[in-house]
Structure 1
Amino acid sequence: MDQNTSKTVLILGANSDVAKECIKQYIKKGFSVIAASRNIDSLRNFVTENRFDAKVTVLYFDSVDFDSHQKFYDELQVKPHIVVYSAGFLVDNEKALNDFKGARQMMMVNYMGAVSILNIIAADKNNKNLERIIGLSSLSGVRGRKSNFVYGSTKAAFTTYLTGLRQELASRNIKVNALVIGYIRTKINEGLQLNESLIMEPDYVAKFIVNAGNSFTIVPNFKWNLIYLILKMLPESLVAKLP
């Protein structure tokens, strides 16, 4: 076990499958965890089942209740050393095109909520603990594609925000990482027809989060890293032919 017993990680959107694996791995490394989510009953059950009660504090956090974010942060008994924003929402592109409610919810959870709370955290220069902010983005945000461009646009915006945040916080020696992630076997992808050979397990992705280094962009899995590089380089005429 690493000696991080005095350090705290705040996980926002902690009820996701990947976030729960992060909780396990951060605890193994000696961190205390503040797990924040709307579904605190599920989180509390997870904490109790894994006997993490002494190491995990469960708090209510709603990523789209922007007016509550300052109060949420101010009331943290311990200000975090590491912050992970893992809240996410997804509806299929057809629904997003024909029903703006779904599109708006993706924008609010995936981007606006992240900017709201992370701005508050980043602006607190009195928090000398803060070492790192990690945001979970997506390969869907690398290039606009007709199958998922509404969702992808929210992740592209989030990645761009994290890029600038990294520059903003560099003078305070605070690192910022963007996890650019492909398919994961999680609740959010249930029912989707995905290439099985490309699906990653939540604990595998969590390792890249918990062990994030100095690189801004982190793409778990060599297959997805290759896809990421190809997407970045493809001319628009070829991207337009992708599903």
Structure 2
Amino acid sequence: MNQNTGKTVLILGANSDVAKQCIKQYAEKGFSVIAASRDTISLERFVSDNQIRPSKVTILYFDAVDFNSHQKFYDDLPVKPHIAVYAAGFLVDNAKALREFKGAQQMMQVNYMGAVSILNIIAMDQSNTNLERIIGLSSLSGVRGRKSNFVYGSTKAAFTQYLAGLRQELASRKILVNVLVIGYIRTKINEGLQLNESLIMEPDYVAKHIVNAGNSFTIVPNFKWKMIYIILKILPESLVAKLP
């Protein structure tokens, strides 16, 4: 149901499948959406195809790894956000990341360094009295180091820990910070991977948990993934070593 909130949400890395669903769902709730990505054409097409009112969505160019551009990007925003969502992500195969540092570096820059760069700017702007929430998209891969994906997982673990500290930093200003710890999603980043079909979530389902984020720091969509998250947290290292 459409509600006129009068609030603005900034979605960084807005071209991901989950982020696009967030655009749609936030707009349906009455938010004004600033959708930022390197691929602005794809975002324009999505808004048009889904018949989202153009007046509700502002599309801007944003490059997560162009750190020097982040301050100007933020300063030039038409409206400072009430909510900021960092949804940018990059993944390469673990074996490739071990052989070629370029892939590992790209994951570090997109998944962690870019997030810290832009979110620090957003969080430290005390003149923006609108800001009430920051949401970051992390992964179950960052819960424990596993030999199949520990390079990617390490970037998500770092991002989760950053958000945990940022939550404490911003608590005195009554600004909430949430982390979405996400399992398998049917998205382009996972295309071609052999995944358990019964565990795959749809992008709109995950987006619903982002748009309706509550007060808890850690949000794990889907009951099965909640169980996996808890098991991973408590599993002895000797058993974690036997996981793929």
* TM, length-normalised to structure 1: 0.99
Match of 1:191 in 2: 192
Match of 2:43 in 1: 43
Q: Partners in 2 of 1:42 and 1:60 — Cα distance?
A: 12
How many residues are matched?
A: 243
The Cα offsets for residues 157-177 of structure 1, whole Å up to 9 and x where unpaired, read as: 000000000000000000000
- How far did 1:48 drift? 1.8
The Cα offsets for residues 178-198 of structure 1, whole Å up to 9 and x where unpaired, read as: 000000000000000000000
Match of 1:150 in 2: 151
- How far did 1:49 drift? 1.9
Match of 1:20 in 2: 20
- How far did 1:225 drift? 0.2
The Cα offsets for residues 94-133 of structure 1, whole Å up to 9 and x where unpaired, read as: 0000000000000000000000000000000000000100
Match of 2:221 in 1: 220
- How far did 1:29 drift? 0.7
Match of 1:29 in 2: 29
- How far did 1:5 drift? 3.3
Q: Partners in 1 of 2:172 and 2:31 — Cα distance?
A: 25
Alignment-mate amino acid for residue 216 of structure 1: F
Equivalent positions of 1:47-66 (< 5 A) are 47-52=47-52, 53-66=54-67
Equivalent positions of 1:135-174 (< 5 A) are 135-174=136-175
Identity over the aligned pairs, expressed in percent? 83
* TM, length-normalised to structure 2: 0.98
Task: State yes or no: 1:5 paired with 2:5.
Answer: yes
The Cα offsets for residues 70-93 of structure 1, whole Å up to 9 and x where unpaired, read as: 000000010000000000000010
Task: State yes or no: 1:93 paired with 2:94.
Answer: yes
The runs of 5 or more residues in structure 1 that have no matched partner are: none
- How far did 1:31 drift? 0.4
Match of 1:109 in 2: 110
Question: Which secondary structure does the structure 2 equivalent of 1:117 belong to?
Answer: helix
Q: Partners in 2 of 1:37 and 1:217 — Cα distance?
A: 25
Alignment-mate amino acid for residue 123 of structure 2: A
Task: State yes or no: 1:242 paired with 2:243.
Answer: yes
CA contact (8 A) 2:12 2:88 kept: yes
Q: Partners in 1 of 2:216 and 2:147 — Cα distance?
A: 30
The runs of 5 or more residues in structure 2 that have no matched partner are: none
Q: Partners in 1 of 2:5 and 2:235 — Cα distance?
A: 46
CA contact (8 A) 2:22 2:207 kept: yes
Q: Partners in 2 of 1:188 and 1:232 — Cα distance?
A: 25
- How far did 1:4 drift? 4.0
Q: Partners in 1 of 2:33 and 2:15 — Cα distance?
A: 13
Alignment-mate amino acid for residue 25 of structure 1: Q
Match of 2:121 in 1: 120
Question: Which secondary structure does the structure 1 equivalent of 2:44 belong to?
Answer: helix
Question: Which secondary structure does the structure 2 equivalent of 1:58 belong to?
Answer: strand
Q: Partners in 2 of 1:208 and 1:45 — Cα distance?
A: 24
Task: State yes or no: 1:176 paired with 2:177.
Answer: yes
- How far did 1:51 drift? 2.7
Q: Partners in 2 of 1:8 and 1:90 — Cα distance?
A: 29
- How far did 1:2 drift? 5.5
Q: Partners in 2 of 1:185 and 1:162 — Cα distance?
A: 25
